Structure 1
Amino acid sequence: MSKDIKEQPAAENPEKLHQLKVTKPETWAAGIPGVAAAFADILEETGALRGPGALFKMNQKDGFDCSSCAWPDPDDDRSPIAEYCENGAKALAEEATTKKLTSQFFVENAVADLAKLDDMEIGKKGRIAQPVYLPKGATHYQPISWPDAFKKIADYLNSLASPNEAAFYTSGRTSNEASFIYQLFIREYGTNNLPDCSNMCHESTSVALAEVIGIGKGTVTLNDFYDTDVIIIMGQNPGTNHPRMLTALEKAKKKGAKIIAVNPLHEAGLMAFKNPQTAKGIMGISTQLADLYLQVQINGDMALLKAIEKLLYDFEQQEPGQVFDREFIEKSTTGYEEFIAGVKNFDVTALCAAAGVPVDKVVEAAEMLRHKSRIIICWAMGITQQKNGVDTVKEIVNLTLLKGSIGKAGAGLCPVRGHSNVQGNRTMMIFDKPKKKQLDKLKEVFGFEPPREPGLDVVESIKAMQEGKLKMFFAMGGNFLSATPDTTFTAEAMRKLKLSVHVSTKLNRSHLVHGEEAIILPTLARSDKDVINGQDQFISCENSMGVVQMSKGILEPVSEDLLNETQIVCELAKATLGSRSVVDWDKYADSYDAVRDVIGKVIPGFENYNQRVRLPGGFYLPNAPREGKFETEQFKDKAPFTITELPSQTMADDEYMMTTIRSHDQFNTTIYGMDDRYRGIHNERRVIFMNPKDIAKAGFVQGDKVDLFNYYDNIERVARLFVIVPYDIPERNTATYYPEGNVLIPINSVALRSNTPTSKLVFIKIRKHEVVF
């Protein structure tokens, strides 16, 4: 790496340790400690009235949507006390804070000095209160007016040799209305370079499901959880990542459902739940969740699924027609004979060894499924962020097709999305590879010819920056640098940009690792009042199960110099496109209703949008597989079985598999605190979880300081100064938190066909820490 790059502001968290304390991991989640932690953050950031008052409106039918995870709200009655979780409350505390960054803050703090802080310290500084600009060669951001900011960005966009020299990123926080207007501007400008956070999380799901069931979304509703027999949770940690799911699991258990947990780490939120809204939970009595815990090794899920399929096939031979749903297979699927010919030859013992799960445990799982068809399979990043992520999702579908567990009450596929409107962004055409019929509809409604060639996704955008093909990067929310892989490579790429622009609520590391020039445009948060022409407005979001509902903020914004995201896009479109635009941007800037009216003309399922979104609880989007109807590009009316290959994983004797995980004190790249109490980690994030046998075999002991290395593509990547913590994780498996571990994820290690970074499987070497001067 060149000298000038080394002297740039830090792209990673500082290599320093705190006073780590390790306690015994918890065996249950939530309870009174969760309530206490949530209110502590709220009170510290917002005071006694502002934040607590907003909590009672969060996720209510007449309130605002949580900016954290995408778990759905109940269709019927919602808790009047707390329709939110601990992490939702922490997310509200972050955005409802009374701390704000004025021009004086940026005068007093150089970019390089801010970069020396860790991510939590950067985020805790407060809300950005006005637009700021970093000139070429400058050390400090300085105030800029909105008109001047829009003109500068527009001038850059109009100076490019091609619209394809710019990329426009979107985070999951962006509303349906802003997302639609954003993609409309970008496509009228002339590019499909629309990388988004889906590229890094559930893209494998979207690709796989679109090919086998005809839609890139799940098929269940929340009510299906209350009418099911078996729930399988794979590669997901609901206690930390989707805590409100625990309430649904508890309700399912009370109605007799069994739960199978599949995860390399023993996670508290999969074992038991103390519901703080019940007398039992308040008294400290927990509900057991997982009836069976299958502790697979990292990426052992495909082998596990194949082993279960072979056992079910054997059961079917013993009881013809009693295990497989023959009627469903005949009527609604294709390719069964070819698929089952392969299943016949599976070796259960070898597959269980590849999965890392004892044969008797897998047999127990198959027995739980043997005579059941009301089966829900949930999954998240542990499945999708693997090289074979697309095929593993297809294997999940294979299992549901064998059992007829799709298109009926209490059964189906449940990919659990991360950010709260990431699914809505894609529905609103935030996608680098739009379908022809979508572009045709844009042309029909608006009268301009949208670009037809595929654009760049996240990984492709980073490479294009590195190669000098991208000159400008515009981010609608998010913390792009900290969310993406190969941190050193990505930071170097971003520094080659001519201009980087971020629409943000709070400061993050992506503002500090920038192009030659940089601009930050401050915007409203979900909980903020959005007032246009004296009228309180509302936006809308889509949750993980396809429900679109309104979200109306109630808090006074911390600054009068903030615009909502739709206004920002419309003003930028006017400044950039001028008289050559055929879109009435002023109309959309002034009225979300006008935006929703035109969405109803362009996006299927949004007819009468304005009327339906005002119904309490919103409305469901069409979902044909939910009703047992399948139509893919290759097959009509039938879902195909897929023949997949078992992944081959080989390691050198001194190598380990590493997965990146969240702590309980974070959501995506937002760090709320330094604790991960469910796993027994306090006041530290630079830890690596290892199996005790591996620690001893390598000659380490608990508390040793180590450096982590990855050598993919013969490039040395180093994450320095981590502390070893023994944990219940399979041998040769390790885990680190992200973004601290992201530097080890190779830019070229991606899931086949979805191009998702393989954040859940990185091969590393571990050595004693060396001090580098």
Structure 2
Amino acid sequence: AGGDIAAMTGIAKLLVEWDDAAKASGGERVLDWPFLDQHCHDVEPFLDAVRAADWDEIVRESGLDKWAIEEAAKVYARSKAVMAIYGMGLTQHVKGVDNVRMVVNLLLLRGNIGKPGAGPTPVRGHSNVQGQRTVGITEKTELAPVEKLKELYGFDPPTQKGLDTVETCHGIMDGSVRAFIGLGGNFLRAIPETGPMEAAWHKLRLSVQIATKLNRNHLFPGEVTYLLPCLGRIERDEQASGPQSVSVEDSTSCIHGSYGRVDPASEHLKSEPYIVGAIAKRLLPPNPAVDWDGWVADYSLVRDAIERTYPEKFKDFNKRMWQPGGFWKGNKAAERVWQTESGKAEFFVPTTLNATGFDDAEGLFRLMTLRSNDQFNTTVYGYHDRFRGIKGTREVLMMNKEDMAAHGLAEGQRVALATDYGDGVERRLDNLLVTPYDIPRGCLGAYYPEANVLIPLDHHAEVSHVLAAKSVPVRIVA
């Protein structure tokens, strides 16, 4: 856990060494120098950094033997086009942003951005994780088209920064956040600092949950609480103009249409757009430029509004979303157009090979929280994890056999985990069944979201504030 920067530094170091040797001997270069010279900024500082990287440190921090890194580097060096596909775990470290930047560094070295069959490919949790950001749903107002929205709808959008998940949790606990409106999700179950957050929730003046299914968050009311059941995406959505469709953006930035096909669970269920529109009409003064009733009656009008706001990305939105595979929204880097200060792709020099954000110590483990194969986000559908051969319970602690022996632990023994974060707060998870598993020494595995009680709220990725759930500092206690 936390060895990604080191592993990628090792691959980059070999590529640079091989390229230096080819230059000296007059052989074929390993790095794509025409691409680097034309399109990249700060190349040499990065090359110098990887040349200076120490192999002993790379091997120790990556958890890989040097020969394994060399085999991966050989495959990369002889490949004409490479896609770097990574899951959310890469981002869930204190240095998670650096992890992603190292992926980009590695791709840039051989020109693997902006050509067919190449580029970074993040695999996200579900549809529309990216799509919401594409249409301007963000706490960072500088990323939203506020001037265009002002022009189209005649109001003054906020320009101050909003709250992300970490900041929202702090606000709920300290009382500065007084209202929470959730469109779907199981917020209290998904976030860290479970105990204090559940205890603080009742202080909210208003808690509104718009949801398709009941979940644990609904058991924690605020002073005033509304639980508003709504239609799910698979259910038919009939509005004034007839059956409605929605659009979805997938992990490859392709946007396509989706119709519900099953009968609603109840004739009384309303859609999310209907509920949001109804709330807006009650709270906001009338605005002739904002036709809430029209948008609810015909969702294609919402897509027309999105097209007017983002004409370059969403030209002919309602038509193109039904073409086979949908339509690709585009990406400037794919065109080798670099929207950076330098106007070029910028290399990043990592400051550490350890992505965890903490130092190793005697008896300290790196805990990775994991999902089972029969789980979607916080929803657990069964107790048979076929990924790992674990059946009948989720109260398990996955552990390397050598670590078990070193700590005098036997398979099936019950233990507890305690977080070692140095902030004076006790975080503990009891009754875990020691289970031998093929996991690197010094690392442990436990299930998400049960293990969220161990994760401090401030243990998150720098810059992005992503929960650092793949490297949590813990100790095994009796």
- Shorter-chain TM-score bucket reads over 0.9
Give the structure 1 partner of residue 284 of structure 2.
577
| 1:391 paired residue among 98, 102, 118 | 98
Distance in 1 between the 2:34 and 2:414 partners? 59
| 1:428 paired residue among 123, 135, 155 | 135
Give the structure 1 partner of residue 123 of structure 2.
416
Q: Where do residues 318-467 of structure 1 align in structure 2 (5 Å cutoff)?
A: 318-320=21-23, 321-435=28-142, 438-467=145-174
**Residue 341 of structure 1, CA deviation:** 1.7
2:346 alignment partner AA: P
The Cα RMSD (Å) is 1.4
1:615 alignment partner AA: Q
Give the structure 2 partner of residue 537 of structure 1.
244
Q: Where do residues 732-747 of structure 1 align in structure 2 (5 Å cutoff)?
A: 732-747=442-457
Offset from partner CA, 1:652-705 (integer Å, 9 cap, x none): 312211010101110110111111022111111111100011111111100011
**Residue 614 of structure 1, CA deviation:** 2.8
Tell whether the 8 Å contact from 2:137 to 2:144 is kept in structure 1 after alignment. Answer: no
Indicate yes or no: 2:456 matched with 1:753: no
In the superposition, the TM-score normalised over structure 2's length comes to 0.95
Indicate yes or no: 2:219 matched with 1:476: no
Give the structure 1 partner of residue 321 of structure 2.
613
| 1:505 paired residue among 209, 212, 219 | 212
Distance in 2 between the 1:709 and 1:565 partners? 40
Distance in 2 between the 1:517 and 1:436 partners? 33
Tell whether the 8 Å contact from 2:136 to 2:143 is kept in structure 1 after alignment. Answer: no
Distance in 2 between the 1:538 and 1:699 partners? 58
Offset from partner CA, 1:232-286 (integer Å, 9 cap, x none): xxxxxxxxxxxxxxxxxxxxxxxxxxxxxxxxxxxxxxxxxxxxxxxxxxxxxxx
Give the structure 2 partner of residue 705 of structure 1.
414
Give the structure 2 partner of residue 311 of structure 1.
14
Offset from partner CA, 1:443-495 (integer Å, 9 cap, x none): 01111010100000001001011111111100000000111011012212322
DSSP-derived class of the 1:319 partner: helix
In the superposition, the TM-score normalised over structure 1's length comes to 0.59
Distance in 2 between the 1:707 and 1:581 partners? 60
* Higher RCO, 1 vs 2 (CA within 8 Å, ≥6 residues apart): 1
2:474 alignment partner AA: I
Offset from partner CA, 1:357-390 (integer Å, 9 cap, x none): 0111111111112232411111122210100011
| 2:339 paired residue among 631, 644, 648 | 631
| 2:434 paired residue among 717, 721, 724 | 724
Offset from partner CA, 1:595-630 (integer Å, 9 cap, x none): 011110112401221121232332110212112222
Distance in 2 between the 1:384 and 1:485 partners? 16
Offset from partner CA, 1:622-658 (integer Å, 9 cap, x none): 21211222222x122x101111111364233122110
Tell whether the 8 Å contact from 1:310 to 1:348 is kept in structure 2 after alignment. Answer: no
Distance in 1 between the 2:345 and 2:47 partners? 15
Indicate yes or no: 2:266 matched with 1:559: yes
**Residue 391 of structure 1, CA deviation:** 1.0
| Worse-matched range after superposition: 731-740 or 514-523 | 514-523
CA, structure 1 residues 581+500, in 2 after alignment: closer, same or farther (shift >3 Å)?
farther
Q: Where do residues 129-140 of structure 1 align in structure 2 (5 Å cutoff)?
A: none
Give the structure 2 partner of residue 693 of structure 1.
402
Distance in 2 between the 1:748 and 1:650 partners? 17
**Residue 752 of structure 1, CA deviation:** 0.8
Distance in 1 between the 2:112 and 2:189 partners? 38
Q: Where do residues 44-193 of structure 1 align in structure 2 (5 Å cutoff)?
A: none
| Worse-matched range after superposition: 305-314 or 606-615 | 606-615
1:561 alignment partner AA: H
DSSP-derived class of the 1:310 partner: helix
Distance in 2 between the 1:578 and 1:561 partners? 27
Tell whether the 8 Å contact from 1:307 to 1:347 is kept in structure 2 after alignment. Answer: no
Distance in 1 between the 2:474 and 2:110 partners? 39
**Residue 534 of structure 1, CA deviation:** 6.1
CA, structure 1 residues 579+468, in 2 after alignment: closer, same or farther (shift >3 Å)?
same
Give the structure 1 partner of residue 425 of structure 2.
715
DSSP-derived class of the 1:597 partner: helix
| 1:684 paired residue among 371, 393, 415 | 393
Tell whether the 8 Å contact from 1:381 to 1:760 is kept in structure 2 after alignment. Answer: no
**Residue 579 of structure 1, CA deviation:** 3.2
Tell whether the 8 Å contact from 1:669 to 1:739 is kept in structure 2 after alignment. Answer: yes
DSSP-derived class of the 2:214 partner: coil
Distance in 2 between the 1:436 and 1:413 partners? 21
Distance in 2 between the 1:419 and 1:677 partners? 21
Tell whether the 8 Å contact from 2:4 to 2:62 is kept in structure 1 after alignment. Answer: yes
DSSP-derived class of the 1:527 partner: coil
**Residue 582 of structure 1, CA deviation:** 5.1
Distance in 2 between the 1:657 and 1:533 partners? 54
Give the structure 2 partner of residue 670 of structure 1.
379
Tell whether the 8 Å contact from 2:136 to 2:144 is kept in structure 1 after alignment. Answer: no
Distance in 2 between the 1:413 and 1:649 partners? 27
Offset from partner CA, 1:566-591 (integer Å, 9 cap, x none): 11110000011143685221111111
**Residue 505 of structure 1, CA deviation:** 0.7
**Residue 437 of structure 1, CA deviation:** 6.1
Distance in 2 between the 1:436 and 1:740 partners? 34
Distance in 2 between the 1:310 and 1:366 partners? 9
| 2:350 paired residue among 634, 639, 644 | 644
Distance in 2 between the 1:609 and 1:564 partners? 21
Give the structure 2 partner of residue 300 of structure 1.
3
1:714 alignment partner AA: G
Offset from partner CA, 1:172-191 (integer Å, 9 cap, x none): xxxxxxxxxxxxxxxxxxxx
Give the structure 2 partner of residue 655 of structure 1.
364
DSSP-derived class of the 1:741 partner: helix
Distance in 2 between the 1:436 and 1:669 partners? 29
Tell whether the 8 Å contact from 1:322 to 1:371 is kept in structure 2 after alignment. Answer: no
* Percent of residue pairs identical: 39
Name stretches of at least 5 consecutive residues in structure 2 with no aligned partner. Answer: none
DSSP-derived class of the 1:579 partner: coil
Tell whether the 8 Å contact from 1:387 to 1:751 is kept in structure 2 after alignment. Answer: yes
Distance in 2 between the 1:436 and 1:687 partners? 42
DSSP-derived class of the 1:709 partner: strand
1:767 alignment partner AA: V
DSSP-derived class of the 2:90 partner: helix
| Worse-matched range after superposition: 581-590 or 381-390 | 581-590
Count of residues paired in the alignment: 469
1:684 alignment partner AA: T
DSSP-derived class of the 2:466 partner: coil
Tell whether the 8 Å contact from 1:597 to 1:609 is kept in structure 2 after alignment. Answer: yes
CA, structure 1 residues 614+360, in 2 after alignment: closer, same or farther (shift >3 Å)?
closer
CA, structure 1 residues 313+436, in 2 after alignment: closer, same or farther (shift >3 Å)?
closer
DSSP-derived class of the 1:501 partner: strand
Give the structure 1 partner of residue 229 of structure 2.
522
**Residue 758 of structure 1, CA deviation:** 0.8
Tell whether the 8 Å contact from 2:394 to 2:447 is kept in structure 1 after alignment. Answer: yes
